[in-house]
Structure 1
């Protein structure tokens, strides 16, 4: 009876992270170590990395023919790191930057900040960040955004994190109720209640009559006719 294959121990993301850090430290030590042995060790690592990169590229080529198969690959943190390391990530630059911004949005909202991608041009990403905190807190959030975006798109030459554009001032509600004057309309004078109305009767002669007029109603020809007897010296 055939024995079952041995169970391969798997590593979750928390277990992978310290191993990657340890690998970087060991490679740094090898680079600083003189002698032929260190040179051979580094060459072996480079060749192994190149072969593994080619194997991963063939996996992505096979997955490209299956709709939806690439999303789980690019969504996995470790695979995304390796795809970027070998420069074989299937997503274009702008899509990866947009994904970095989307992944950051819930975390930033929990801290009272809003983020939006303004665009990617000439290997420069422009990102809008509105944060409540000022000074050191805002600077820390900007550094977090830059680090996250560069993790998804290391080929960027810069990540510009800017404040959002100011919101245009609101139109006062009272202005919405004001009716515009029609073009070429004759000018009229508003007369207040119980205010004296001065009406031109003849050239150079004016007559003043205390006429009760509804507030805001202009003095018209009817008012001028009512003032006529006063101008001629007749009875009121």
Structure 2
């Protein structure tokens, strides 16, 4: 199948931007930019290969989009382009479900208190803050609660990378608190932000 006019224009735009960057920063900058483009293309190629593999031999009765969304690599690409079949709240709940067995031995349980937009000028414009509440045996226990927080942050970063910060009620903030790696396709909808548990 031949490339469409839009696809051809996109490729030409990439070449033009690389040439402009090369003129602005010189040959070493251009070489670095070329390597970046190669890395991004390789990353997307890996994602496409994984999608083809998943769809080439799906489990019987599997929903194709759900199958793609469950894969960490392909699901992340779907999130990046706002194509994931599950909303943020659903993916956060799944992340919490993954860590609940661990939480049971350290902190009891955790519940979502809310998801709010990140304040402007906070370095993560358009991001979201996930507010959680610990329940159970170690609520207010600083060392265990901090370990629980790290465990939760890691799971949330994999399932819902648009979450920029996790706040856990009763757990003191560390100074400075590192931001979660955030990749967003668009600002959150008001409906997403208003959604509660």
Larger radius of gyration: 1
TM-score by length of 1: 0.42
TM-score by length of 2: 0.49
